[in-house]
A and B are shown apart, each in its own frame.
Chain A
Amino acid sequence: MIRFAAIRLVEIAAMLVLMSFVIYALIGLMPGDPIDLMLSSDPRMTAADAARLKAVYGLDRPLLDRYLAWAGAALSGDLGYSRLFAAPVAAALPPRLGNSLLLMGSSFALAFAAALALGTAAARRPNSRLDRAVNLVCFAGVSVPTFWLALILILVFAAGLGWLPASGVAAAGGGGLGDRLRHLVLPVATLAAASVGGYTRYVRAAMREALAQDHIRTARAKGAGELRVVLHHALRSALIPIVTILALSFGGLVSGALVTETMFAYPGMGKLVFDAVMGNDYNLALAALLLATAVTMTANLMADLAYAWLDPRVSYR
């Protein structure tokens, strides 16, 4: 297993290197050279100025040279300067990362808790009205476009009833904890509602299969209480696929939720990557994207290791 994990880590590192080059090249293919943008917006700049600026920023060197320069600096800890934020990448990234972890973490926890409750309840009474209702809710959940759900929630709760703020992290001038929590409610609700459908389907299927096993019947025959049967016996078997999707969703913690963040003007990682890419900000975009990819791939590795650990029948030798 150690060997398996070590090989995977090496593969992850190789993928990251490959991806960094691909993304660097792709961003170069985006419309709009930053210096040309400056040229068209500032009438006092001349073509000679543009050429000089390009030489200063190193934008006239071939792609490979620029990439290697970036890679060399990044490996020694210098992530560069973000043109978009007018700050070093190392200063611009962490606050957005924190916001994303808060948003994604809360909605993820909420969705997962709800999925466990709903999925288990539905699995315990297969084909009942509750089961069919939960199934329908799941279908609705995975079919609804997130941005539409956000729009409806904003319409009802912010514009219509005025109970909750429609955007931002806190009131202007910084609010207290209560204010920050109020700003979190709608985005978290949107994200949780969008993801609960998928999770519930998994939990329901896993629990259904677990509850149909023979050892559950034995436990019930031996007189174990329903709570113990479900939580101790059934959940243990169902845990394997559940932990797998749990780990797989960890990747989303860092990549953020672009659409939700855009709808609620929430400054998170999703919007950061979008703005950086659209704004040709190489350093920031690369740093954010590679971080998200590294976390996702590591989370996948964790999922595979957890799977092997939880299920003794599985081995990676």
Chain B
Amino acid sequence: MKGPLLWLATVTLAAIVGPPLAAAFGVDPFAVDLLDRAAGPSAAHPLGTDELGRDLLVRLLEGGRVSLLVGIAAAIAAAAIGAAIGLIAGYLGGWTDRVLMRTTDAVIALPLLPLLVVLAALDLGKLGLPRTLVQSDEISLLRVTALAILVGWTTSARLMRGAALVARNRDFVRAARSLGAGVPHILRRHILPEVMGPLVVATTLGIGDIILLESVLSFLGLGVQPPLASWGSMLSNAQELIAASPQLAIYPGVMIFATVIACNLLGDALLQRFDPRAPVRG
């Protein structure tokens, strides 16, 4: 557990601290220098430059910031929404449970990537959103986060429903019900603490999944848009120079790989802690 935790902490710290530090040193991640494209490591650029002459190290850190931001925010939001749906379905049972679970199953059954492509390429202006918002830089971040939440909530919904089904038959829950406690109170104070363990595990694993999803979307050009950096879009841009400067593709890929594997290892370690007999997630 220590290894992946250390790596994640380092990457997060670097992503938060790095860009402001670099700005203090005068290195701008968006500063294009076409005369210095795809250069090797040097004193001015510790890892070299990318295909437009921007400093590679700072781009990696910026990309890390974007990927981690989207990953963590979307994972927490998806877990919260999914948990709410799953807990309500599991605790209340009956028709609520049937309807909610049927919806969840239907969403799970949809082919993922084609629908994401459709949703990611939507022209939000046609939906009636104001033009200034639609064409801003940050909108792509919001879109990717929204998409990740849209596909990510189902895992925690199913998980929490199962956990709620078990928890609602516990004695202390029955006692609370017989004392006249209302449903929201029971859910919040009695059921939630019981199910936090698997939820935390699912969220941690979700961060890794969402980082991968965001990188695929950015790679396809549907995720984070330039000039914002993201590991996925850096990989996409590196393709044309792949033969001459493979390092442009290797660095972002290694970062994605290492961060996702760290999330998975951490999640698995947490799983062993909370429930050593639990089956492999899926």
Contact of A148 with B253 in the complex, beta carbons under 8 Å = yes
Contact of B118 with A26 in the complex, beta carbons under 8 Å = yes
Contacts of A259 in B (CB 8 A): 113, 216, 219-220
Given A148-B249, A151-B242, are A255 and B114 also a contact pair (CB < 8 Å)? yes
Contacts between the two chains (Cβ within 8 Å), count = 129
Contact of B113 with A270 in the complex, beta carbons under 8 Å = yes
Number of interface residues of A (CB under 8 A): 50
Closest CB pairs A-B (n = 4): A148-B253, A31-B123, A143-B261, A143-B260
Contact of B220 with A262 in the complex, beta carbons under 8 Å = yes
Seen from chain A, the residues whose Cβ lies within 8 Å of a Cβ on chain B are: 11, 15, 19, 23, 26-32, 139-140, 142-148, 151-152, 154-155, 159, 198, 201-202, 204-205, 209, 245, 251, 255, 258-259, 262, 270, 273-274, 277-278, 285, 288-289, 292-293, 296-297, 300
The size class of the interface chain B forms with chain A is 35 or more
Contact of B114 with A274 in the complex, beta carbons under 8 Å = yes
The answer, among A11, A27, A159, for a CB contact under 8 Å with B242, is: A159
Query: Looking at chain B's contact residues, is the secondary structure mostly helix, strand, loop, or mixed?
Result: helix
CA distance A151 to B114 in the complex (A): 22
Contact of A277 with B118 in the complex, beta carbons under 8 Å = yes
Contact of A278 with B111 in the complex, beta carbons under 8 Å = no
Interface presence of B35 (CB below 8 A): no
Nearest CB to that of B221 among chain A residues?
A278
CA distance A209 to B232 in the complex (A): 38
Contact of A26 with B123 in the complex, beta carbons under 8 Å = no
Contact of A255 with B118 in the complex, beta carbons under 8 Å = no
The answer, among B111, B118, B212, for a CB contact under 8 Å with A293, is: B111
Seen from chain B, the residues whose Cβ lies within 8 Å of a Cβ on chain A are: 102, 105-106, 109-111, 113-115, 117-119, 121-123, 125-127, 208, 212, 215-216, 219-220, 232, 235, 239, 242-243, 246, 249-250, 252-253, 256-257, 260-261, 263-265, 268, 279-280, 282
Given A29-B126, A29-B127, A289-B111, are A143 and B264 also a contact pair (CB < 8 Å)? yes
Contacts of A285 in B (CB 8 A): 118
CA distance A159 to B244 in the complex (A): 11
CA distance A309 to B117 in the complex (A): 37
Nearest CB to that of A262 among chain B residues?
B220
Task: Give the shortest distance, in Å, between A264 (CB) and chain B (any CB).
Answer: 12
Contacts of B257 in A (CB 8 A): 140, 143-145, 148
Contact of A205 with B279 in the complex, beta carbons under 8 Å = yes
Contact of A26 with B261 in the complex, beta carbons under 8 Å = no
CA distance A147 to B113 in the complex (A): 14
Contact of B117 with A151 in the complex, beta carbons under 8 Å = no
CA distance A31 to B117 in the complex (A): 13
CA distance A34 to B263 in the complex (A): 43
CA distance A270 to B115 in the complex (A): 11
Contacts of A277 in B (CB 8 A): 114, 117-118, 121
Contact of B111 with A251 in the complex, beta carbons under 8 Å = yes
Given contacts A251-B111, A292-B111, 8 further A-B contacts (CB under 8 A): A143-B260, A145-B219, A147-B216, A151-B235, A201-B282, A289-B111, A296-B109, A300-B109
Given A145-B216, A259-B216, are A139 and B264 also a contact pair (CB < 8 Å)? yes
Contacts of B126 in A (CB 8 A): 28-29, 31
Contact of A26 with B113 in the complex, beta carbons under 8 Å = no
Given A145-B253, A205-B279, A259-B216, are A140 and B121 also a contact pair (CB < 8 Å)? no
